[in-house]
Amino acid sequence: MSTEIEVENLVRRFGPHTVLSGVNLAVRPGELLALLGPSGSGKTTLLRLIAGLDTPDGGAIRFDSHNALGRKPKERGVGFVFQHYALFRHMSVFENIAFSLRIRRAKNPEVVARVQELLKLIQLESLATRYPAQLSGGQRQRVALARALASQPRVLLLDEPFGALDAVVRRDLRRWLRHLHEEMNITTLFVTHDQEEAFDLADRVVIMNGGKICQMGTPIEIYQTPANAFVHEFLGESNKLPVTLTNGQVTADAGFVIGHADAPDAPMTAYIRPHYIIPTPDPAGPWLVTRLTATGAQARISLTKDSAVLEATMTADELISSGLKSGQTAQVKITGGMLFDPAGEGPVKLTPNVARGALPHASSLVS
Amino acid sequence: MVVRRLLIAAALLFLVLFLVLPLVVVFSQAFSSGIAAYFTALIDPNVGDAIYLTLVIAAVAVPANLIFGICASWSIAKFDFFGRNLLITLIDLPFSISPVIAGLLEVLMFGLNGLLGGWLSANNIQIIFALPGMILATTFVTFPFVAREVIPLAQEQGVEEEEAAVTLGAGFFQIFWRVSLPKLRWGLLYGVLLCNARAMGEFGAVSVVSGKIFGQTDTMSLAVESLYESYELQASFAVASLLAMLAVVTLVLKAGLEWRHRDELAAGRRKKTA
């Protein structure tokens, strides 16, 4: 029933710029897949190529093993939702949703029935005669979705669907879309630059950068084992420490051992998320607490040791019970992290190594 | 406060002096010999011919403008092609050239001793001192009106709606009729209104190419002049009053459109958007 999409070695150039350089992707039938990446990573271009709004310079796109490239957008059975909705401003909500049916010369009773059904689905039955300019952003987005679904597409493509909405509406719509997807089971791809949105909504996430796919997997897989330094950084803040490996021991160039790793002796960079850094007050500790800030439930602690700077996070409650004060010295425990080579590749997991003398007061830490 | 009042007073004075007063004079002169004489002047066959000719010229020039305006805005807003900026600049050319020069250029092209004159007369085609020349001159002079209203509007609206229509299965003509044209309709109407007023009122260019044969190649604005020169003052002002009424009606319609569709039309005056 649901459609499988295969993208093979897809290339797209705009003048001298290569926007997509050999992208391979397999979207499973009925899957909800997120294309995540910074702006300029090629994710929207990929979406437009799949929709048929643009033509690739090389490669193949197949829907259920049939070549889609020779087919026009209307023959591909694709529903597309644009970032800025692209509703027809001179048509009512009803006529916007009815557009694809009118184009196909559907009979009027049929059109009315289908549009009513969709209006009910998007819970905007009372606004059928309104014009797009009279709707809120969230309402427009839902109309755009209903319009894309009207002719029962096999594939649904959404370009930054919640990008222009405020946080609360975005969260509601996200949940609603997830629910809708579970009901309809259409193969769905959506583009986003918001990591939280991608992880919250998608079955699998594709991380793109510089016209290439960096990594593809479930949200947990990607977060736990990022394929390279770019992915690690893109998914959230990290402390970057230049380190050197000797016999598996990882020593920060700032002069402290942070753990060990299964990798050959070489200079590398450790990426440590702020919540993997746990500072505790210690009058003899080598770190100086320079700043404490609490934003609601979350607290941030900035620490320095010579030229090295660490950012740690913990819950506000943990901060209070830890007794940390600004201007005091502290000890630091590192409980996890990743190592990448100077090119940002070759990921190795950092095994925390608090018992080997680097952090003499580790035993006193509350975990 | 004083400065403000002075400035407003100056503006009003100008308005009265140069717009209201002449308008009053036109109508008072037109009706100076009574209402009957006014209508007698207008039903004169030569005046009737002038009105007819004016309508014919407008009926060709305005649609030509409309079609050109749609084509130009469509191609400029939706495609990036070689010479695009040159086209945008050239559209304004008729604004910067004196209409008399435009008429002269045409004589130089199509006149008996003109570039194409020999070929035209050999094939018995008369352009100068005939209707085709007057239509060409009017079309040239009114060239930018629709295009200039619609191009910025089309550029601001972008192509997203058209792309949406593509994904919804529409073909080229369906997109044009159902999406692109309705999007631009108020800008188009506004442009047509201005274009029509100018086409009916055009004097300079048409004067050069018409030869001013009374009753044959006389438009309304030319008739005003020829009647005036033959001392038929009242008749001259009667025709002038018709043109003045056209101007007033155009202004009222324009104001109405501007008020109702100010958001859409505003794009026409905004040079650049992000």
Which residues of chain B, if any, have pLDDT below 50? 270-274
pLDDT tens digits, one per residue of A222-257: 988 898 889 998 888 888 888 888 888 888 887 777
Backbone angles phi, psi at A44, to 5 degrees: -70, -35
CA separation for the pair A316, A318 (Å, rounded): 5
Residue B156 forms contact with A (CB below 8 Å): no
Cβ–Cβ gap A74/B164 under 8 Å: no
Contacts of A273-276 with C-beta under 8 Å, sequence gap 24+, read A273/A236, A273/A237, A273/A238, A273/A239, A273/A336, A273/A337, A274/A237, A274/A238, A274/A239, A274/A300, A274/A311, A274/A312, A274/A313, A275/A312, A275/A313, A275/A314, A276/A334, A276/A335, A276/A336, A276/A337
Let me know: does A277 contact A239? Beta carbons within 8 Å: yes
Interface test with A, best of B153, B159, B168, B176 (most A CBs within 10 A): B168
CA separation for the pair B73, B70 (Å, rounded): 5
Looking at chain B, which residue has its C-alpha nearest residue A76?
B167
Tell me what the mean pLDDT of segment A85-98 comes to: 92
Global pTM reads: 0.78
Residue B174 forms contact with A (CB below 8 Å): yes
Residues of B whose CB is below 8 A from A99: 165, 168, 170, 178
Give the pairing of strands A212-217 and A58-63. unpaired
Residue B169 forms contact with A (CB below 8 Å): yes
Residue in A78, A89, A147 nearest the CB of B183: A89
Cβ–Cβ gap B183/A73 under 8 Å: no
CA separation for the pair A61, A49 (Å, rounded): 8
pLDDT at site A365:
41
| Residue A341 CB partners (closer than 8 Å, separation 6+) | A266, A268, A269
Let me know: does A270 contact A338? Beta carbons within 8 Å: yes
Q: Between A and B, how many CB-CB pairs are < 8 A? A: 60
CA distances from A70 to A24, A100, A179 (A): 19, 21, 33
Residues of B whose CB is below 8 A from A88: 161, 164-165, 178-179, 182-183
pLDDT at site A353:
67
Cβ–Cβ gap B166/A151 under 8 Å: no
Tell me the shortest Cα–Cα distance from B180 to chain A, in angstroms.
10
Tell me the shortest Cα–Cα distance from B166 to chain A, in angstroms.
7
Tell me the shortest Cα–Cα distance from B75 to chain A, in angstroms.
18
Cβ–Cβ gap A88/B164 under 8 Å: yes
| Residue B39 CB partners (closer than 8 Å, separation 6+) | none
Confidence check: pLDDT of A119 > 90: yes
- Report the half-sphere exposure of A286 (CA within 13 A, side-chain side): 16
Mean pLDDT of chain B: 85
Tell me the shortest Cα–Cα distance from B164 to chain A, in angstroms.
6
Residue in A52, A86, A151 nearest the CB of B160: A86
pLDDT at site A367:
37
The strand pairing partners of A32, in sequence order, are A188
CA separation for the pair B235, B30 (Å, rounded): 7
**Over pLDDT 70: what percentage of chain A?**
96
Helix, strand, or coil (residue A325): coil
* Residue whose C-alpha is closest to residue A210's, from A12, A6, A5: A12
Backbone angles phi, psi at A198, to 5 degrees: -60, -45
| Residue B115 CB partners (closer than 8 Å, separation 6+) | B108, B109
Interface test with B, best of A47, A74, A134 (most B CBs within 10 A): A74
Backbone angles phi, psi at A292, to 5 degrees: -125, 130
What DSSP designation does A162 have? Answer: T
Cβ–Cβ gap B185/A90 under 8 Å: yes
pLDDT at site B158:
83
Residues of B whose CB is below 8 A from A73: 166-167, 169
Handedness of CA B181, B185, B190, B194 (dihedral sign): positive
Looking at chain A, which residue has its C-alpha nearest residue B159?
A86
pLDDT at site A28:
92
pLDDT tens digits, one per residue of A286-334: 888 998 888 888 889 999 888 888 899 988 888 888 888 888 888 888 8
Tell me the shortest Cα–Cα distance from B271 to chain A, in angstroms.
22
pLDDT at site A357:
39
Residue with tokens 């407003």, as numbered in its chain: B8
Higher pLDDT, A1 or B1: B1
Tell me what the mean pLDDT of segment A39-61 comes to: 91
CA separation for the pair B60, B64 (Å, rounded): 6
Confidence check: pLDDT of A32 > 50: yes
Tell me what the mean pLDDT of segment A138-154 comes to: 91
Interface test with A, best of B80, B163, B167, B177 (most A CBs within 10 A): B167
